[in-house]
Amino acid sequence: MEHNLPGAADQAAFLVDLSNVVRERSLGGPAARSLHRFRLVVEALGRLTGDPDVPVYPVADKSLLGEAREFADPGDVRTLRRWINSGLVEQAGDADQRILELMELTSAAHTRAVTNDRFGAYRRVFPWIQGNTDRFLKPVAGPSGTVRLIPLHMGTRTEAEISRSDELAAFKKQELLKSSGQPLTRVVNRFWRCPEPRCTVYDPRGGRVLLPRMLGGVPSCEVHRLALADAGPRPAMAQLKAMIHGVCKGRYTVEEGSQTGVGRNPVNGIVLYSLLPSDVAGRVSREHVVVSAQSGILLVRDVSRCGTRMRTAGRRGRMGPWKDLPPGQDRPFGPGDEVELAPGVLLTRSGRRFPAELAAAWRTEGTRRPTPTAASQPTALD
Ligand SMILES: [Zn+2]
């Protein structure tokens, strides 16, 4: 087995997402974690390539050895520890990211990765994942206890799906996901205050509203490691983006209970004037649509001279047909939906619905003029 492990990514034909393989129960054995599954994958790579000595470079999360008792065979733990200590297996804080980095570094050699992960949270950083069909292999159970490898088609995620993945990754980082994968709403829907008097990390007036970090099940201050005090409900918010010819030129947050005009130059609202290409600026009304957030639902209303079209996102991000918005009537504006003010000028609702959106930034942005730099800046959570 060890002759398959060169201990260097650039000498390997395949990277293996080791934690993902070791934890995959469908590959054989009832244990939560089993190194045998990795051996089966290496055998499958040997058959696939016709080379029983095929060189493989496994990357494991630090957490793989963390709960050693999940391995039914204590020998697995000893072997894995030895492989890590001798550099045959690389350990990484974030194995997903490390595998993608190594794939980028070895792209000339077309090094492939064995995984069952579609890396939804990484598509912004590694855009080449989008639509890829030839660099990822998925291990599946084969006949009589073997493993087969099949191409993993990565598919193309829509902007709304990518935003949703970003959101989940941000929650995961703060340990704000339940084991079901749902966010801990009792924590994320509240404001929090640090008992350290000078601490402003969680002060909603500070301009950046961080989510608490969970320490031992208690919402805690990232900086002072102290338990935070509940500071009341956090208003729900939605994020809007101005897309000009397919490029995001501005991001805006809309708060619960608010009503906001969007157009070329509305009296009090989202001003698109500086973003609009000259050929279409005249087709966008001074106030074109009104977006309002009521009881957690976002609505959009056409108030323009020339009309507005909208299409809604269906399941799996598939877009419905364009339809004219009936003038003066509120329509639900869901995540992924697109509102077209003029050809090439879209208002979209991002998948992000969580409170990391900077309420205060919105409030303090007196003119509410979009700034392209602010649009490209990471949020407080990133
Ligand atoms: Zn603090």
Q: What is the DSSP string of 153-178?
A: ------HHHHHHHHHHHHHHHTT-B-
pLDDT of residue 237: 67
- What single-letter DSSP state applies at residue 145? G
* 196 alpha carbon – ligand 1 mean position (Å): 6
Nearest to 149 by CA among 8, 2, 15: 15
Distance 50 CA to ligand 1 centre (A): 58
Same fold, 2-151 and 237-376: no
26-40, 52-66, 245-259: range with lowest mean pLDDT: 245-259
Q: Which of 174-183, 200-209, 325-334 has the lowest mean pLDDT?
A: 200-209
**pLDDT tens sequence across 16-43:** 999 999 999 999 888 899 999 999 999 9
- Residue 230 CA to ligand 1 center (angstroms) comes to 13
Distance 232 CA to ligand 1 centre (A): 17
282-301: average pLDDT: 88
Ligand 1: centre distance to CA 220 (Å) = 8
Distance CA 110, CA 117 (A): 19
* Domain 237-376, classified CATH 3.40.50.300, yes or no: no
342-376 confidence digits (pLDDT tens): 999 999 986 555 443 333 223 333 333 333 333 33
Cα gap 328→259, rounded to integer Å: 14
Say if residues 80 and 65 touch (Cβ distance below 8 Å). yes
How high does pLDDT run on average in the chain?
Answer: 83
Those residues with Cβ within 8 angstroms of residue 56's Cβ, 6 or more apart along the chain or in another chain: 4, 5, 12, 13, 14, 15, 16, 42, 45
User: Ligand 1 centroid vs 194 CA: distance in angstroms?
Assistant: 5
Closest CA to 381 of 183, 164, 171: 171
Higher-confidence residue of 124 and 346: namely: 346
What's the 97 CA to ligand 1 centre distance in angstroms?
A: 29
**What's the 215 CA to ligand 1 centre distance in angstroms?**
13
User: What distance in angstroms lies between residue 193's CA and the mean position of ligand 1's atoms?
Assistant: 8
Q: How confident is the model at residue 205 (pLDDT cuts 50, 70, 90)?
A: low
For residue 133, pLDDT over 50 is answered with yes
Q: How confident is the model at residue 379 (pLDDT cuts 50, 70, 90)?
A: very low
Q: Is 265 left (phi over 0), alpha (psi -120 to 50) or beta?
A: beta
Instruction: Tell me the CA–centroid distance for residue 368 and ligand 1, in Å.
Output: 30
Share of residues in the chain with pLDDT > 70 (%):
86
How many A from CA of 195 to the centre of ligand 1?
Answer: 7
> Ligand 1 centroid vs 359 CA: distance in angstroms?
20
Q: How far is the CA of 203 from the centre of ligand 1 (A)?
A: 10
Question: What is the CA angle 306-309-313, rounded to 5?
Answer: 165
* pLDDT grade for 90, boundaries at 50, 70 and 90: very high
Does the model's pTM come out above 0.95?
no
Only one residue has tokens 């805006």, namely: 252
Question: Distance from the CA of 206 to the center of ligand 1, in angstroms?
Answer: 13
Quote the ligand 1 centre to 218 CA distance (angstroms): 14
**Domain 2-151 classification at class level:** alpha beta
| Ligand 1 centroid – CA 186 distance (Å) | 20
The HSE-up count of residue 71 (CA atoms within 13 Å, CB side) is: 21
Kindly report the number of other CB atoms within 10 A of residue 30's CB atom. 7
pLDDT at site 235: 67
Q: Write down the pLDDT at residue 358.
A: 30
* Structure confidence at residue 336 as a pLDDT band (50, 70, 90): confident
What is the CA(197)–ligand 1 centre distance, in A?
A: 8
- Compute, in angstroms, the gap from residue 237 CA to the centroid of ligand 1: 24
- How is the chain split into domains, by residue range? 2-151, 159-233, 237-376
CA of 239 to the centre of ligand 1 (A): 27
The alpha carbon of 207 and the centre of ligand 1 are apart by a number of angstroms equal to: 16
Ligand 1 mean position, distance from CA 199 (Å) = 5
Rounded distance from Cα 253 to ligand 1 centre (Å):
25
